[in-house]
Structure formats: structure tokens, C-alpha cells
Structure 1
Amino acid sequence: MLSRIAESLFWIGRYVERADNTARLLDVHLNVLLEDPWVDEPSANASILAVMNCEFEAPVSRSDVLEQLAFDRDRSSSIAGTLSAARENARRAREVISTEVWESLNMTRNQLPRWSQASRPHEYFVWVRERAAVVWGLSSATTSRDDAWHFMELGRSLERADMIARLLMTRNLEGTTGPNWTTLLRTCSAHEAYLRTVRSLVTEERAAEFLLTDPLFPRSIAYNLDRAETILGQIDGAGSSRILADRARLSLGRARTNLEYTDVGDILADLPSQMREVQRACTTASTLIRDRYFLPASTVMWSQEAL
């Protein structure tokens, strides 16, 4: 597979997943602002932007958060920006993705202006989650399980682990008590799966353990880190450059085993720091994957200039 195609597929996976999880994160954040009578809204808004690594100038209003994380089409951290970027990457990889996936991404991008003007942000977030589910459903039904599938799934798994870590960090937002664990489970579409698996009421430690380390739930952090490791082992590659892929697997494996073999109480006692470790592992793996499988940025620029 051509490097440019593999890179586009990888970023389709990341961008669609980022849009989905950003919608979930913003939905729970706005609910906390509405339900917590003691909330310090500017501090909470600044904290959520910090969790998403966005620059800001205090004080931060609710509209500032929505503009940066939901509606700004020029930001790779916003929902509108990621969905537009996913469509552009799909255009570059048009020869390997199915017509159904392309049309779904194209339609989503074209409908963004109308939905971003919805009277309630919640309606916009629900639509984003539904469109992401449509893309993943069509991709699953129409893509052969070859390298095209592997690169898209690899991007999806890395992004999901990273974004679930960010979502859990909202438990410690400044200026607010943060969402409760039942809300976090529902936000991750995990409440029913938790009840079937744990068979007890929601408690802090059991809910955290489920979202962190459950090996069967597709939105747990450990599941996605393991999924990314497995896919890296399935993608063809040999020779000295294979060392980079093995280093990426090592980074992900360390993060996963740290979660699995550390007492959940210790993780909760230092949750933001532990989640930042997960993010660093995903960033390191993404950088190594880029260096192993994708063209360097200078080569891409040179190719475009030559055209």
C-alpha cells in the first residue's frame, strides 16, 4: 500500500473517532455546568480547554468552548474541523475506500453548516455521534480486512484510548465537582455493559476499573491499547524499520500493563497524571507509526511542489 494512502486511512480513523468523543466530552461538560449549582464556570471552561490542549485567554465563556471544540472548521481539535479533515483524507484515499464510506463522510461534511446552527448544542452532539456510527458501520460492512482496514482501525484505536483518557480527566476539572461515574459510563455508552459485567450498582472503583481495563468492552482504554498493539503486529513489514513499529507496540504495552497491574485506588488517587501517561503513550506510538509507515513531511511537500 502507498504511504500516502495508509496515512490518509490512519487519519480518517483518528478524525472520525475524535469528532465522536469530543461530542461526548462536550455534552457531559455542558450538563455539569447546568446541574452543578456551585460551579465556577470560567475555571471549568478553561480546564476543559486545557484537557483538550487548546490555547485560551481567561476568562473563558461557554461560547468560547463551543467555538473552539465544536464549530470552528479551521481547528483540528474541533468537531467541525475533524469531520472536514476526515472527508479530505477520504478524498485522497478514494481508490481504496468504498463508495458508501466516501458518500457518508462527504454528506456529513456538507451537512455541518446546518447542524452547527442547531438551537441546542445537544442536538448537534447527538447528530455527530450518529454520523460517526454510520461511518464505522459502513466501513465495517464494506472494507476487506487487509491493510486498508488495519490502518483505519489503528488510527481509531489510538484516538479512542487517548480521548477516553481525556474524558476521565473531566472528573478533576477545576471549579466543579465533575461528572459522576454513572454519567461517565453513560457518556461512553458503557452503562448497560457495566451492569451486565459487574452485576452491581455503580461505584467509583468498579466503574473506573471497567472503563480503564475491561478486556471485552470496546471503549475501555486497555481494550484499545491492546487492539492497537495487535494491529501493529498484523500490518506487513520487515527489516530494520520494523524496529519502529515494535517500539510503538512497546510503548502501548507499557501503558496497558500499567493500568492492568496498578491498583485502581492508586490510579484514582492520581487520575490526571495517570491519564496523561496514556496520552503520552498514544502520542509516542503515533509518532513512531508515522516514521515507520508514512512519508516524512518534507517528502510530501516536495511531491506537491513537483506536481
Structure 2
Amino acid sequence: MLSRVAERVYWMGRYMERCENVARLVDVNTKLLLDLPRGVSVGWGTLVDISGGSDFYRRDLDSADERAVMRFLLADMNNPSSLMSSITYARENARITREILPSEVYTLVNDLYLYLKDRFPKGAARGERQALLEEVIEKVQQFTGMLAGCMSHNDAYSFLRLGRNLERADMTSRIVDVGTSRILTKALEETEANEPFENILWMSVLRSLSGYQMYRQHVLDRVNAEDVVMFLVQDSLFPRSVAHCLSELSEAFDRLPNSDNAQRVLASVRRQLKTADILQLIESGLHEYIDSIQSSIGEVHSEIADTWFLPQVQVTQ
């Protein structure tokens, strides 16, 4: 297949996954406000931290208000990670490559774009936000299922898998990073009786990835930092764990030509995950470890681009 087509479907997979990730984060953070007692707050700026929005109107994240953060994460076209930006880029990539996709897939992406365009900025209001976000999550899940069940599992499908799983691994690592270094610290410093709030916060982290029930089946103990981090980083069976996403990348690489260099870079990241002592890292340096994992995920993306995409083709990121 042509390099420009491969790049388009790769980024379509990334952008659709990004839509779901943003919707999950905002939805869970909104519900978390109802669980925490008065006087304990995680702050809306945390969501900007997780999404990587470094230029949040040049404001202090600690003092960011709900309305500004929602506008930035959901509707701001100047933020490449916003929900509206992501669905716009996904739709454009789907439009250009629609001849290799099942017709239902493009229709779904286009309908979701029109749905969101029609409801912003109204959808940023808390009263309407939950229904909008749940619709986004449902449609992206439908998109993933349509591709798995209706599209030939050829090279184009492999590039879609690469985009989806690389984006998912990156977001999971961000959630774990912020959950350990920002959310927990900020919330627990405001109360002495912190254990109940610690459990609530870690359950929120799991629910942002729809991982709470699977975690309870996997870990027969109360929700705690060490087990949650191990589950989300190292568990090979949970589809949104970093380890599982990287194993999906490896399978996709196996189906593509000239993937030896990409496999070598990926193997290095997987070794980092497998050999990590999570308990020791939580006590002394989990943030730095997650930073190195995110850098390594970036290197995997760079290797994908160098191997299969043409340098002169520019796709908005």
C-alpha cells in the first residue's frame, strides 16, 4: 500500500482512540467530584496535565476552572488533543482513505463529527456533558468493533492497530503518571484521614480506563497504589494496560514488511516494563520511570514513521 495511505489510516486510528480517551477522562473526573467529600478536590487542571496540553491559555493549572478546562479539552480547535480537533482530523483521514474502509466506518466517523459539531459549545455544560461523552465512547467502541469484524485484516488494518494501541499505551502511562504524582498528592495533603480518599482516587483511575471490574477479578485485595500500577502497566491480559498494548503492536509489526528495526525498539520497551519493580519505583522514582516509558513509546512512533511514512507528507498532529 502507499505510504501516504498507511500514514492516514495510522493517524485515523490514533485520533479516534484519542477521542475516546478524552471522553473517558472528562466523564470520570466529573463523576469523581460527586464521590469526594467537601473540602477534598483534585482540580480540573489535572486533566490538562494528563492530556499533555502544555499551552493551556498560558494559565496556572492549579487555579484552572471547570469551564475553561472543558472548553480547552472538548471544543478548542487550537488544542490538537481536544475532542473536537481529534474527531475533525480523524474524519479528514477517513475521508481521504474511505476507498479502503468499510463504508459503514466512514459513515460512523462522519456522523460522530456532525453530532459533536452540532452540540459544542452546549455540550461543555455539566448537565449535558455526560450524555455527550457516553455517546462518544460508545461510537468509538463501535468504530473499533466494525473494523475488527468487517475490514480485511490486511496492511491497512495493521496500521490502524498500530495507531490505536500506541495512542492507548501513551494515555494509560499518562494516567498512571498523573495518578501517582499529582492527583493523589494533591488530594491527600488536604486531609488526615486519607485512606478512604486514596481508595476513591485509585478506583477513579481504574474507571477512567474501564478497568475497575477486571482489576477486582485480578487482585483479591482492596484497591491500592502498587496493585493498580502493576495492573495498568504490566498486566498482559487487560486490553488497556501498557504491556498489552505493546504486545498488540508486536503482532501488528509481525504482519508488516521491513519491521525488524521497529520490533527491536519495541522489544526494548517491553523489557523495561517486564523487569520493573513497581513497589520500589513507587517509593523512589515512578514518575521518572513513566517518563522514560513515554519517551520510549515516542521512539516507537518515530521508528514507524521512519520505516513506512514519507518524510514530505505532513499530517497534522
Q: How far apart are the structure 2 equivalents of 1:51 and 1:9?
A: 25
Normalised to the residue count of structure 1, the TM-score between the two structures is 0.86
CA distance in 2, matches of 1:183, 1:73: 28
SS in 1 for 2:44: helix
Deviation at 1:265, TM superposition (A): 0.6
How big is each residue's C-alpha offset from its partner over 1:141-164, in whole Å with a ceiling of 9 and x where there is no partner? Answer: 111111011000010010000001
Structure 2 residue 188 is the aligned partner of structure 1 residue 173: no
The residue number in structure 1 matching 2:270 is 256
Q: Does 1:287 align with 2:302?
A: yes
2-structure distance, mates of 1:200, 1:40: 26
* 1:70 and 1:80 in contact (8 A); partners too: yes
The structural deviation recorded for 1:86 is 0.6
**Residue identity opposite 1:197 in structure 2:** H
**Does the Cα contact within 8 Å between 2:202 and 2:223 map onto a contact in 1?**
yes
User: Which residues in structure 2 correspond to 1:189-268 (within 5 Å)?
Assistant: 189-237=210-258, 245-268=259-282
Please state how far the C-alpha of 1:300 moved relative to its aligned partner: 5.5
1:75 is aligned to 2:79: yes
CA positional deviation for 1:108: 0.5
Mapped to 2, the partners of 1:202 and 1:19 lie a distance apart of 28
Cα shift at 1:74: 4.1
Q: Please, which moves more after superposition, 173-182 or 147-156?
A: 173-182
Query: Could you tell me which of 65, 77, 81 is aligned with 1:61?
Result: 65
State the number of aligned residues: 291
Whether the 8 Å contact between 1:36 and 1:176 is mirrored in structure 2 is no
1:37 aligned onto 2:51 = no
Corresponding residue for 1:271?
Answer: 286
Residue 242 of structure 1 is matched in structure 2 by none
CA shift, 1:33, in A, is 4.6
CA distance in 1: counterparts of 2:136 and 2:216, whole angstroms: 26
Divergent runs of 4+, >6 A? none
The offset of 1:65, in angstroms, is 1.2
- The 5 Å alignment of 1:290-305 reads 290-297=305-312
Deviation at 1:215, TM superposition (A): 1.0
Report the residue type matching 2:92 in the other structure: E
Q: Deviations over 1:233-272 (max 9, x none)?
A: 32123xxxxxxx4343333322222222111212323333
Q: Give the TM-score taking structure 2 as reference length.
A: 0.84
Partner of 1:49: 48
Match of 2:98, SS state, is: coil
The Cα shift of 1:274 comes to: 2.3
Q: Is the 8 A contact 1:83 1:109 kept in 2?
A: yes
Equivalent position amino acid for 1:211 in 2: L
d(CA) in 2 for partners of 1:267, 1:252: 22
- 1:52-95 CA deviation, whole Å, 9 max, x = no partner? 22212234221221111111234321011101111100011111
Q: 1:241 aligns to what?
A: none
Farther off after superposition, 172-181 or 182-191: 172-181
Partner residue, 2:12: 12
1:3 equivalent in structure 2? 3
Distance between the aligned counterparts of 1:5 and 1:75, measured in 2? 25
In the alignment, which residue of structure 2 is the partner of 1:305? none
Distance, in Å, in 2 between the alignment partners of 1:200 and 1:155 is 34
RMSD (Å) for aligned C-alpha atoms: 2.2
Aligned partner letter, 1:124: L
Partner SS, residue 120 of structure 1 = helix
Where do 5+ consecutive residues of structure 1 fail to align? 238-244, 302-307
CA contact (8 A) 2:32 2:204 kept: no
